[in-house]
Chains A and B, each alone.
Chain A
Amino acid sequence: MTLVKIKTIALLGLMLGISYLSYAQTYIGKGLKVSLFSSTPIEDIRASSNAANAVMLLPKQELNIQIPIKSFEFEKKLMQEHFNENYMESDKYPIAKFKGSIEPLIDWTKDGDYTVSAKGILSVHGVDVARTIAGKINIKNGVISISSNFDVTCAVHHIEIPKLVFTKIAEIIKVSFQGTLSPLKK
């Protein structure tokens, strides 16, 4: 009987351990910053949002980032409206997202700087594009800082830039992304 008891207690402990471990392997980040930069000889336009959310699952280093398009702020509010209405069609495609995995494998318990790339699907304006995006990761006391700079080509995502506009918009938009992820506490 005592042997059975020990066995069951051990089993319970093991299962609790598994559940604890799998929770600890989840990192979440809220309010990550995404900035857009469009540069032409006539006009530079910047926009920024602090409303991106990210989730990372560790065993596979899966990374999932989402941002509401309507959260981007522009200096000119009318430009912001046109960004949503004419270009991004944010009522139809309310969020942009990236879903992929980080390479190479990292020891997430060790503090340090890592140069990584994220391989996955970038979905903007409802168009999914397979991308490998370079980025940097810094780990300090269990908090992960993540940052990346990459380009988004409007035409690839079927974002049309009509000729009859006074504002000049670049065909390739520079995107920068930065924020921190912390272990999910249950």
Chain B
Amino acid sequence: MKKSKLIVYLILLTLILALRAAAQNTDSLLNTLNSSMKFNKVEATFKSPRLVLSQSTETQKKHDLDLVITHRFGDIGGNFGSSHTLYGLDVATDLYIGFDYGITNNLTVGIGRSKHDELYNLFIKHKILQQTNDGIPLNITLLLQGAVATRTPFANEFISFNHRTSYLIQPIISRKFSERLSLQAIPSYLIRYMTTDILDSKNLFTIGFAGRFKITKRLSFIVDYTLINGLSRPTRLSVAQYNPLGVGLEIETGGHVFSLNFINAEYINENNFLTDTKKSWKNGGVRFGFSISRNFSLFKSKNPDIKSTIY
């Protein structure tokens, strides 16, 4: 009796095995191979390493060089604006020319020069966390920047070289919520050795918020706001300071990114605009600005399968 039962079970087992094997289809077999898991990065949270004011979590691709040219015009309205300066277009409050270079896909170094304070800046940008579609919800990029003001001093302004320097520590946190919407939070700590306003604090803690909304595949609306007043900054200052707010349109054309902005910050570099934004949106202090970035790929691959040629 027991033996026959065993045989019945054996028959059933082989039958199940046989059926399973026969029922296996190509789709389920492909799923067991499952190679798409490796390709889970959520890319292009932003099109550009910079939004209106702040840097974004994007770093350069390995061996890519990005040339950035940014311009800020004068006040549109108020005492310094109106038709006398063609709504600020006669004036350049700041100009920035810089290069970003990708040492690896996650590590970018940059150098730049601003008109304001004749400021030279050096930064490293390291992507620490990459958003994926199967677990990691955020991108985190750490930005460290040092800057030196090289202009001739007024009176005994720069006692030592240290007084010309300022440093920025900025973890940038972003998330691509959907194809269209990406948001970013930018806490920063700025260290300087000298303030133009003696009532101001040397070190500033700020929080920025920025976002991108894609209108079409290549045209995006960008907004960028930094909260400075009301955090570590003293409430009473000799000259009023404002929180920088910028809005803009970003146009991507494959290799170039053009950004057209309206903004109350006069200056371009973080070490300048975080410490010194004396214009507000209310009193005609808003200005037009633009940014052009052009990407170059250096050190081309020798793999003939991916070789591209421009004639």
Contact = CB atoms under 8 A, between A and B. Distances in A.
Do the two chains bind? yes
Interface of A: 8, 11-12, 15-16, 18-19, 22-23, 26, 28, 30-31, 35, 41-48, 51, 53-57, 62-64, 66, 68-71, 73-79, 81-82, 84-86, 89, 91-92, 94-95, 99, 160, 162, 164-167, 184
A35 B255 CA distance: 23
Nearest to A66: B30
Contacts of B303: 48, 75
B25 interface: yes
| Chain B facing A: main interface SS | mixed
B133 A166 contact: no
Contacts of B20: 19
B26 A51 contact: no
A64 B36 contact: no
B14 A70 contact: no
B253 interface: yes
A43 B43 CA distance: 25
A68 B253 contact: no
A161 B164 CA distance: 49
Contact of A84 (B44, B105, B309): B44
B236 interface: no
Q: How large is the interface on B (under 10, 10 to 19, 20 to 34, 35 or more residues)?
A: 35 or more
B39 A70 contact: yes
A162 B217 contact: yes
A91 B176 CA distance: 11
Given A71-B35, A81-B61, 14 more contacts: A8-B11, A12-B11, A35-B305, A46-B307, A48-B306, A51-B35, A57-B24, A68-B39, A71-B39, A79-B254, A79-B308, A86-B218, A91-B133, A167-B254
B307 A76 contact: no
Contacts of B310: 42-43
B297 interface: yes
Interface in B10-69: 10-11, 14-15, 17-18, 20-22, 24-27, 29-30, 33, 35-36, 38-39, 41-44, 61-62, 64
B305 A46 contact: yes
Nearest to A165: B254
Contacts of B253: 164-166
Contact of B179 (A19, A71, A79, A91): A91
A75 B254 contact: no
A75 B218 contact: no
Top-10 shortest CB links A-B: A77-B61, A64-B26, A70-B39, A48-B305, A15-B14, A22-B21, A19-B18, A68-B36, A68-B39, A55-B29
Contacts of A42: 310-311
A91 B134 CA distance: 12
A28 B44 contact: no
B39 A162 contact: no
B217 A86 contact: yes
A53 B35 contact: yes
Contact of B254 (A46, A64, A166): A166
Contact of B11 (A15, A51, A95): A15
B295 interface: yes
Contacts of B27: 64, 99
Given A30-B33, A85-B44, A74 B306 contact: yes
Contact of A78 (B22, B179, B297, B307): B297
11 contacts: A8-B7, A8-B11, A19-B22, A41-B311, A46-B304, A48-B303, A62-B26, A71-B35, A76-B64, A165-B253, A165-B254
Tell me which of B20, B30, B61, B301 has the highest count of chain A C-beta atoms within 10 A of its own C-beta. B30
A70 B41 contact: yes
B308 A53 contact: no
Contacts of B11: 8, 11-12, 15
B42 to A, nearest CB: 7
Contacts of A84: 43-44
Nearest to B27: A64
A77 B217 contact: no
Contacts of A62: 25-26
Contact of A53 (B33, B105, B133, B300): B33
A167 B253 CA distance: 8
A177 to B, nearest CB: 13
Contacts of B233: none
Nearest to A13: B14
